[in-house]
Amino acid sequence: MSLRPPGGRVEVLITREEIDRRIGELAAEISSDYRGQSPLLVGILKGSTLFLADLVRRLDVPHEVDFISISSYGNEQRSSGVVRLLKDLDCDITGRDVLLVEDIVDTGLTLHYIRQNLGTRRPRSLRVVALLDKQERREVDVQVEYVGFVIPDRFVVGYGLDYAEQYRELPHVAVMGPDEEAAAGGREA
């Protein structure tokens, strides 16, 4: 299936139905692991918002939500390798069970930075759930406890992921067409 939204072509990689099914499985696993606890889910802005929203609706344990925003891109489509904190947490995580909610883990540089930063704040536990894991591009070893889908080294958009702030609204995960993918370059998290 190909779509031709304004500005380019994308090809569906993971359907909305596959995403729904996998989020249900992840929510069941997370709920089981956090039974008797009240984790703080930390959405990493902006890409994780759709995933986070769908995930929290499926959890059956009490939980809270907060957000953090990190940039390693500046105005580029490829990571500069320099990570900046744009928005910090609103709450203290000392002694809390924290679950980072990430859209995609790519090189691991951003996630490594976030784990180190939040780890200094003495949470009781710090785990990661990522919708997508692009293991082929890993530059640093980062632990991802819950993974939705392992995907190939392709530039993906949709379901919260963007290219130049476009395509986030797609209900599925898609691969950019060859011309658009070449122009977009890589994504890092």
CB within 8 Å of 36: residues ≥ 6 apart: none
Task: Check 54, 97, 103, 106 and give the catalytic one.
Answer: 106
Helix (H/G/I), strand (E/B), else coil: 8 = coil
Sheet holding 125-133, edge to edge: 84-87, 64-71, 40-45, 97-105, 125-133, 146-150
Q: Distance between CA 14 and CA 22 in Å, rounded?
A: 11
How is residue 147 written in tokens? 């993974």
Report how far residue 6's alpha carbon sits from residue 129's, in angstroms, rounded to the nearest whole number. 31
CB 155, CB 185: distance < 8 Å: yes
Structure tokens belonging to residue 146: 């819950």
The angle formed by the CA atoms of residues 184, 187 and 189, to the nearest 5 degrees, is 165
106 is catalytic: yes
How far, in Å, CA of 159 to CA of 164, rounded?
Answer: 14
How far apart are the C-alpha atoms of 7 and 28, rounded to whole Å? 38
Check if the beta carbon of residue 72 is closer than 8 Å to that of residue 79: yes
Catalytic residues: 106
